[in-house]
Amino acid sequence: MTFHAGWLRRCLVSATLVVAVAAPAFAQTAPDGAKVADFSLANGMEVVVIPDHRAPIVTHMVWYKAGSADEPPGKSGIAHFFEHLMFKATTNHPAGEFDRAVAAIGGNDNAFTSYDYTAFHETVAPQALEEMMGFEADRMRNLVLTDETVATERDVIMEERRARIDNEPDALLDEAVDATLWLNQPYRIPVIGWMQEIEKLNRADARAFYDRYYAPNNAVLVVAGDVAPDAVKAMAERTYGLIPRGQDLPPRVRPVEPEQHTRRTVTLADDRVGVPSFSTRWVVPSYRTARPGEAEALDLLAEILGGGIRSRLYQELVVHKGIASSAGAVFRGRTLDDTSFAVYAAPLGKAGLADVEAAVDTEVARIGRDGVTDAELQAAKDRFVRSMIFARDRQESMANIYGSTLATGGTVRDVQEWPDRIRKVTAGEIKAAAARYLVQASSVTGYLLPQQQTEN
């Protein structure tokens, strides 16, 4: 079971559409050419089937449209906490039976929580798919939540926070930067929660979260692998279809982020830090909140600026100047609300952090002022094409692309039309996005320093 802890780790493991661009057929069809199926059960559960008959395995995922940003005030961490509780006993199965059943057939299972969703997944042989559906359908409504079970798992969560956050300087800084970047939006609260609130979570909190969000009409089933859509539909109706529809939830309307007018810095000096580093972040639109074409431009901007070894930041700072050991940019486009765009770097050798930061700032400003070349833009699109090919080669990647899109307000059609929208992005649109959003006067910069150093 995992949650998205530090900012960079979140960016790397979150399922976003930055991995996909190719001919429309790539998105509309499964890897072997079969058409992606999308339908709903009578109780409101949406089902997506991505056939892939190249190997006798199947990935089964259930995405709940509830994450840490949906938590009640003062109950931070309950979404991730409840992810853990879903592995406990139900009225039909004792604790651990689900995991043992998966292990017995050589499969694997896990789960993860993010700001906007919680997902549970298994990878097994096709013959075991209906059994997995039965287990998942059972725990969707039949968990047995006792005070003892909740208290024991709460101790586990608190220890997880100590290990992954409190003992990791970069994770502590990430929390502080997020809390500074977001003035009003719940993304400012860590997914795992604040310790003082985790330790007060109880069975009533867990039951309330369960009853509100864990229902078929608030879930998306994604099945990718050696299966046929008709067979999946029949199995889903025999398992998930037996669960009554839950209450109709109101639209997921959250506090609106105000316009920002200040440049802020956050500094953490710690004797466990060996090499200093920094990141600068901005609030930008996501695919759900952006104007037409804007999120696609931000995606390509991140790729050109710092998407890999061919990016401007890497080539200028690491290859040509030799002043940085790492440098890059990340756009987290697949969120329900506005999201973040970030650049980051760490110095190399005798170079100072101030020198590296100045070089990064120069490259960011240059794109906003001068734009990008047509050759750079085409190369970025070509790299996205290759990424899509690699994504299509992995069932989990395809399941994540569709699942994360549908769990954050998108549709199957959004996934299918995305390659064409990327292909239409112009160099002028990328320049406009950089000039509009990557403004130092409304940024947050986090510095991670060795104990003896101070902020530049």
Q: Which residues fall within 8 angstroms of residue 182, CB to CB, at 6 or more apart?
A: 188, 257, 283
Q: Which has the closest alpha carbon to 435: 319, 316, 330, 301?
A: 301
Query: Tokens 């839950």 identify what position?
Result: 246
Per the rule left: phi > 0, alpha: psi between -120 and 50, beta: everything else, 380 is alpha
Catalytic residue among 46, 71, 83, 175: 83
Per residue, the 3-state secondary structure of 97-130, as one string, reads HHHHHHHHCCCEEEEEECCCCEEEEEEECHHHHH
Question: Cβ(176)–Cβ(265) under 8 Å?
Answer: no
Give the integer Cα–Cα distance in Å for 383 and 365. Answer: 24
Q: Which residues fall within 8 angstroms of residue 200, CB to CB, at 6 or more apart?
A: none
257 is catalytic: no
Residues facing 110 on adjacent strands: 121
Take residue 290 and report the two structure tokens written for it: 């952006």
Q: Which has the closest alpha carbon to 113: 164, 73, 166?
A: 164
Give the integer Cα–Cα distance in Å for 133 and 60. Answer: 8
Q: Which has the closest alpha carbon to 222: 87, 353, 37?
A: 37
Give the integer Cα–Cα distance in Å for 83 and 213. Answer: 12
Three-state DSSP class for 212?
Answer: helix
Catalytic residues: 83
